[in-house]
């Protein structure tokens, strides 16, 4: 099954997450199919903390991809902010 989930990056105590489309059987930090956004929870004021390519997310969900819980929350938050 294909899932849209977060992949952690960044340094110690300075997390940065990529929103990726990946096979659910792969490791969370492993190979992915496509990067569709990012989330920086520690972004300073005035800097972009969340970006999601909604067109690609809709494409992948149309192909049967499932959103993880946190990814679904972030996508919903981005859609509300963009509208």
Q: In 1-83, which ranges are continuous DSSP H helix?
A: 54-62, 69-82
Kindly indicate the confidence band of residue 67, based on its pLDDT and cuts at 50, 70 and 90: very high
Q: What is the pTM of this model?
A: 0.90
Which residue, among 58, 21, 16, 54, has the nearest Cα to 38 in the 3D structure? 16
Q: Rounded to an integer, what is the distance from CA 24 to the centroid of its chain? A: 14
Q: What is the CATH number of the domain that holds 38?
A: 3.30.1320.10
The model's pLDDT over 25-43, given as tens digits with 9 standing for 90+, comes to 888 888 999 999 999 999 9
Total domains in the chain come to 1
Looking at beta carbons, which pairs linking 21-28 to residues 24 or more positions away fall under 8 Å? 21/56, 21/60, 21/65, 24/66
Which residues constitute the domain of residue 61?
Answer: 2-82
Pairwise CA distance, residues 72 & 80, whole Å: 12
């Amino acid at each position: 099954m294909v899932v849209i989930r977060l992949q952690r990056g960044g340094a110690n105590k300075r997390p940065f997450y990529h929103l990726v489309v990946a096979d659910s059987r792969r490791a969370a930090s492993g190979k992915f199919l496509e990067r569709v956004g990012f989330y920086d929870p520690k972004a300073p004021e005035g800097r972009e903390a969340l970006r999601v390519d909604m067109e690609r997310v809709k494409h992948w969900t149309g192909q049967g991809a499932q959103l993880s819980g946190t990814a679904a929350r972030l996508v919903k938050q981005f859609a509300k902010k963009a509208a």
